[in-house]
Amino acid sequence: MVNKIKLSGQIKQQLPAELVNFMQAAGKIAASQGQNLYLVGGVVRDLLLAKANFDLDLVLEGNAINLAKQLHQPEAMKLTTHPHFGTAKLQWDRWSVDLTTARSETYPQPGALPRVKPGSIESDLFRRDFTINAMAVHLNPTHYGELVDLYDGKDDLEHKLIRILHEKSFSDDATRIWRGLRYEQRLDFHLEAATLKLLKRDISMLATISGDRIRCELECIFKEELPEKVLRRAEELGALARLQPSLRGDGGLAEKFREARQSSAPDLPPIALYLSLWFYHLNSAEIEGLVYYLRLPKRVAQPLSDTIKLKAGLDSLADPGLKPSRIYWLLHGFSPVALTANWLASEAPIPRQHLQLFRDKLRYVKSALTGDDLLKMGIPPGPKIKEILHHLHEASLDGKVASKQGEIDLVKGCLKGSPSPPT
C-alpha cells in the first residue's frame, strides 16, 4: 500500500530547517507512542511541484491534541486546540503547523457538514477533494519521507489533471466545484474528463452550500494571483449563474482586475475592491441579495455599497467645468474602494477625469494655516474659525492661494472686507 517513493530530498531542499527539525521531532514522539504521523495535503502537492508552501498539515493516527501538547514549547509557541474536532495548531515566529487526528467522514446529506470519526490515514486521504491533494508523506523515523499515494495523485500532477476521488464527491460537498476551478486555474491544469462531466452533472448541488461557505471559497479565489481566470472558467461551466444569474466572468473584468492590482501594489487589492468591480454592472437588488446570501462582513459590504452609491451619483460629476473645490465636496466622503472602483469601472469620461483628479491630487490638498494660527492672528474662538478654514481649503483646492503668506493675506483681506468670507 505504501509507495516507496521518497520525498526526504525535497523536504530538506524546500522546507526551512526549523520546520524539518520540528517534523522529525514530531515523528519521533509519534513513533515512540506506536502511532503514525504524516505530512498531508497541499504542502505535499507543492513539494512535488517544487513550489514554496510552508503551511504544514500533519495528520496523526492517534490523538493529535496530545501530540501537540508534547511538542508545545510554552515560552516560544502558541497552542490552540479544538477538542471537538481533534485538531490543534502550533504557531511560533512565522510558522504555523496544523495537527489533526486522522479521521473518516460521512455526509448525512449533500452539502451538510460531514460526520467525523477517528480513522486511519487511508480513510483520511479518502475524504479529500482531489487526488493531487490526497497524498501524504510518512514522518516516522523508520519510514521518513515515504510518499503515500493511494489515488495516483503524483501521476495526475505529472499529467496536470484535477481529479476527484469518487463519483459522489461534488454532490457530497459542492464547494469542491469552486476549489477544483481554483486549482485548475492556479496550476494551469485541466479538470480530468470524468471529473469535468461529474462537475457539470452536479453543478446544481451548489444550491446545497451555505452562503458562508461560498464566501470562504470566494475569499480564497481573491487571494489567487489571477482570480479573473477562475471567474471566467466558473462562468463557462455555469457556476457563476448558480450564484447570481447576471454575474459575468469574462471580457473587461480581467483588465479591470489587472488595473486594481496595479493600483494596490505591492499589496493585493482588498476583496471589497475586487467585489465592487465584479458586481459593478448589477442592480442594487441583485447586489443586496448577494451581500445577504454571502453574509459579507461590514468591512466589505460598506465599501461595496459606497461604490454603488457613488455610481448612482456620477451624473453630478459630468459637467466638464466643475471647480476643483466642487469636485472635492462631491467626493470627499467616499471610501478609497468606491473611488477606485468607479474610476476603473465607469465608462463616463468626464466623471472619470474628475475622479482621477480627486484621487491623484485634490484629496491631498490642505491649507497651510491651522486653527491655532488663526487664533494667533487674533480671531476669537468660535464658528468663525471653522468658516475661515473652510474658505482657505476651498481657495487652496481652486488654486487661488499657493503659499502660507498667500493664505495670511487672504484671511486679512476677508477680515477687512466682508466679515464673513464667501463659502
CA-based nearest residue to 137, from 122, 152, 147, 124 = 147
Residue closer to ligand ATP (CB basis): 221 or 374: 221
Quick one: 158 or 409, whose CB is closer to ligand ATP?
158
Nearer to ligand ATP, 41 or 303 (CB): 41
The answer to whether the CB of 240 falls within 8 A of the CB of 231 is yes
CB-based contacts of 197, cutoff 8 Å, min separation 6: none
φ/ψ bin of 117: left (φ > 0), alpha (ψ from -120 to 50), beta (otherwise): beta
Closest separation in Å from C-beta 178 to ligand ATP: 9
Measured from each CB, the residue nearest to ligand ATP is: 42
Q: What is the bridge-based pairing of β-strands 87-92 and 95-101? A: antiparallel
Do 90 and 97 meet the contact criterion of CB atoms below 8 Å apart?
yes
Bridge partners for 147 per DSSP: 137
**Torsion of the alpha carbons at 147, 150, 152 and 153, rounded to the nearest 10:** -60
Q: Provide the minimum distance between the beta carbon of 341 and ligand ATP in the complex, in angstroms, as a whole number.
A: 26
Residue closer to ligand ATP, measured from CB, 42 or 110: 42
The least distance separating ligand ATP from the CB of residue 235, rounded to whole angstroms, comes to: 21
Single-letter amino acid, residue 294 = L
As measured in angstroms, the least distance from the Cβ of 137 to ligand ATP is 13
Q: Which residues bind ligand ATP (CB under 6 A)?
A: 41-42, 55, 57, 128-129, 133-134, 173, 175-176, 179
| Closest distance of CB 172 from ligand ATP, Å | 8
Q: How many CA atoms lie within 13 A of 360 on its CB side?
A: 7
**Would you say 392 and 411 are in contact if contact means Cβ atoms under 8 Å apart?**
yes
Least distance in Å: CB of 408 to ligand ATP? 59
Q: What is the nearest approach in angstroms of ligand ATP to the Cβ of residue 26? A: 18
- Which of 165/314 has CB closer to ligand ATP? 165
The smaller minimum CB distance to ligand ATP, of residues 156 and 394, is found at 156
Closest CA to 336 of 297, 296, 303, 287: 303
Give the nearer residue to ligand ATP in terms of CB position, either 14 or 305.
Answer: 14
Annotate 166-235 with DSSP letters as a single string.
Answer: STTHHHH-THHHHHHHHHHHHHT-EE-HHHHHHHHHTGGGGGGS-HHHHHHHHHHHTTSS-HHHHHHHHH
